[in-house]
Amino acid sequence: MVPRMVLRSPVWLFRWQVACTRGASVPQRTWAGASRTPGPDSTLACTGGLSTSLGTPEVMLTCERYPVRRLPFSVVSEQDLAAFERIVPGRVVTDPAELEAANMDWLRTVRGCSQVLLRPRTAEEVSHILRYCHGRNLAVNPQGGNTGMVGGSVPVFDEIILSTALMNQVIGFHSVSGILVCQAGCILEELSRYVEERDFIMPLDLGAKGSCHIGGNVATNAGGLRFLRYGSLRGTVLGLEVVLADGTVLDCLTSLRKDNTGYDLKQLFIGSEGTLGVITAVSILCPPRPRAVNVAFLGGSGVRLWSGLTGLLLAPSCVCLRPCALAGCPGFPEVLQTFSTCKGMLGEILSAYEFMDAECMQLVGHHLRLTSPVQESPFYVLIETSGSGVAHDAEKLSSFLERVLGCGLVTDGTVATDHSKVKMLWALRERISEALSRDGYVYKYDISLPVERLYDLVTELRTRLGPQAKHVVGYGHLGDGNLHLNVTAEAFSSSLLGALEPYVYEWTAEQRGSISAEHGLGFKKRGVLGYSKPPEALHLMQQLKALLDPKGILNPYKTLPARS
């Protein structure tokens, strides 16, 4: 899960200070105002490592850590800064402290050395900026909440950071259809609150919701916790406004559920990680908020603890609209059969089906002192429902659990309907990542596989790695065929990495799986795209990039492999 990380700075300083540790071609400066016209020879190129005196531990520059070469883009000059100041007056950020956060990903694994960040408020301003950059051959790194996992949202070198943070206005909401239209920089959690007040919910929910931007969610085709129930953004996003590399504004911001007039251009930009255009506004379909129309049916709100179907407690606590259950399964085939049964019996109210193996449960127990409310099992599944009738949902869940317990698919389980219990069950699943990070160095993979083979890779890796690895664990969104495969060791070792890669990618490719289920490719995984897509597809992707961004100025070094 992505931690909350709010990167909003309330004051936009109109000055820039640059300090480079080596090869510093730029002296430390302070720019007093827009009236000063910098000389033509003054540039802001960052040619080496950028150090900081802000007290944060040093993170190696991406260009030093990875074998990547700067493409022949222009370097930002003082004239450029003056031009930007005319386009977005008072919103040209060059303060190193502010740039530090925007240059680095939240995982602290990649770091660029951009020396300017722009904060447009409108698509028109974005259009002016891109038209200017296109003319000047300046590279641009679009940035939303900077919560990505693959280094896609920060510069690799000195790309201009184009932040959507000030494009944070709701444009409209249709209370009958549930269609929300808003600017790209709106924070997901704020949108959630906005639509929930109007009896709707956002069709996506992420751990990073407190800081991620809806534009970034769309640009990365974010999956998240509601994917199983409400599907992909490719279905729920109804329209987009996008600014192309040359500044053209593409207005496809319709609010229609159905529109078969020509090619669906917005799909090009969903999941393209800012490499084909900058999303400036989004139209999205929100489902109605799950409601408890028949709450009285229960005979009072309550908690139902379920263990071997014998214990039934009713307590007057707060009813949760999303009851969930945790159950133990004797093997992975039973996890799959339980899923099939679950889909059939819970049908439309099923909103999550997550699994974790015994080692995950041991790790959260050992490192976080969380205890499992169900008996020890080789596998655990967490099932969440979300419907319009609490009593109906609870009844369906009970019938389902009776069935799976009766036929031995599940050996033990517990149902939670009140908020605190639900939260407790979810913590067992959501805090696995935290437990892993306390276990040592973690090698992380986010893979999609045919659901039947989802766990085979974990088993095979355990045999392959032997005592080299401390733990090899598998968990994830089984309902979506999404495996989070993690390997821990005392410390980083290149021999262990060599045993993992390309083996993991090759194994995934053999199953026609995806080497990036939901995180995207960004900077870190662009080199392994070929494991999931054939050469013909890569070629067409390169052609699309060349068509939409002929100079390659939009989010360079991302998504597509470097051309040899």
Please tell me whether residue 407 binds a second copy under the rule CB under 8 A: no
Give the residue among 8, 395, 397 at the shortest CA–CA distance from 211: 8
Quote the tokens at residue 275: 């490499």
- Is 428 exposed, middle or buried, given 0-12, 13-18 or 19+ CB atoms closer than 10 A? buried
Minimum distance from residue 319 beta carbon to a second copy (Å)? 16
As a whole number of angstroms, the distance between CA 367 and CA 437 comes to 10
Helical (H) or strand (E) element with 465: helix 456-465
Please tell me whether residue 470 binds a second copy under the rule CB under 8 A: no
Give the residue among 443, 451, 447, 442 at the shortest CA–CA distance from 516: 447
Minimum distance from residue 79 beta carbon to a second copy (Å)? 29
Interface of this chain with a second copy, residues 110 to 139, rule: CB under 8 A = none
Starting at the edge strand that comes first in sequence, how are the strands of the sheet with 379-385 ordered? 412-418, 319-329, 379-385, 350-357, 471-477, 482-489, 441-448
Please tell me whether residue 544 binds a second copy under the rule CB under 8 A: yes
Only one residue has tokens 């071609």, namely: 25
Please tell me whether residue 555 binds a second copy under the rule CB under 8 A: no
Pick between residue 143 and residue 532 the one whose CB is nearest to a second copy: 532
As a whole number of angstroms, the distance between CA 216 and CA 278 comes to 10
Interface of this chain with a second copy, residues 499 to 518, rule: CB under 8 A = 512-518
As a whole number of angstroms, the distance between CA 469 and CA 463 comes to 10
Please tell me whether residue 485 binds a second copy under the rule CB under 8 A: no
In the chain, what is the straight-line distance between the N-terminal and C-terminal CA atoms, in Å? 35
Length of the chain: 564
**DSSP structural state of residue 16:** B
Helices and strands: H and E segment counts in the chain = 18, 16
Please tell me whether residue 556 binds a second copy under the rule CB under 8 A: no
Interface of this chain with a second copy, residues 370 to 389, rule: CB under 8 A = 386-389
Minimum distance from residue 317 beta carbon to a second copy (Å)? 23
Please tell me whether residue 280 binds a second copy under the rule CB under 8 A: no
- Is 100 exposed, middle or buried, given 0-12, 13-18 or 19+ CB atoms closer than 10 A? middle
CA angle 463, 467, 469 (to 5 degrees): 85
Please tell me whether residue 308 binds a second copy under the rule CB under 8 A: no
Please tell me whether residue 419 binds a second copy under the rule CB under 8 A: no
Please tell me whether residue 563 binds a second copy under the rule CB under 8 A: no
The one among 165, 167, 188, 270 contacting a second copy by CB under 8 A: 270
Please tell me whether residue 482 binds a second copy under the rule CB under 8 A: yes
Number of residues that bind a second copy (CB under 8 A): 97
The one among 191, 250, 381, 422 contacting a second copy by CB under 8 A: 250
Pick between residue 185 and residue 203 the one whose CB is nearest to a second copy: 203
Please tell me whether residue 99 binds a second copy under the rule CB under 8 A: no
As a whole number of angstroms, the distance between CA 112 and CA 114 comes to 6
Please tell me whether residue 103 binds a second copy under the rule CB under 8 A: no
**Does residue 404 contact residue 286 with C-beta atoms inside 8 Å?**
no
**DSSP structural state of residue 287:** P
Minimum distance from residue 467 beta carbon to a second copy (Å)? 33
Interface of this chain with a second copy, residues 172 to 231, rule: CB under 8 A = 174-178, 199, 220-221, 223, 227, 231
**Does residue 455 contact residue 339 with C-beta atoms inside 8 Å?**
no
Interface of this chain with a second copy, residues 339 to 368, rule: CB under 8 A = 339-340, 343-349
Minimum distance from residue 232 beta carbon to a second copy (Å)? 5
Please tell me whether residue 457 binds a second copy under the rule CB under 8 A: no
Please tell me whether residue 405 binds a second copy under the rule CB under 8 A: no
Minimum distance from residue 506 beta carbon to a second copy (Å)? 15
Minimum distance from residue 399 beta carbon to a second copy (Å)? 6
Q: Count CB-CB contacts under 10 A for residue 179.
A: 20
Please tell me whether residue 490 binds a second copy under the rule CB under 8 A: no
The one among 22, 547, 550, 562 contacting a second copy by CB under 8 A: 547
Quote the tokens at residue 376: 């020890």
Minimum distance from residue 234 beta carbon to a second copy (Å)? 5
Strand-pairing partners, residue 213, are 187
Pick between residue 95 and residue 395 the one whose CB is nearest to a second copy: 395
Minimum distance from residue 174 beta carbon to a second copy (Å)? 7
Please tell me whether residue 299 binds a second copy under the rule CB under 8 A: no
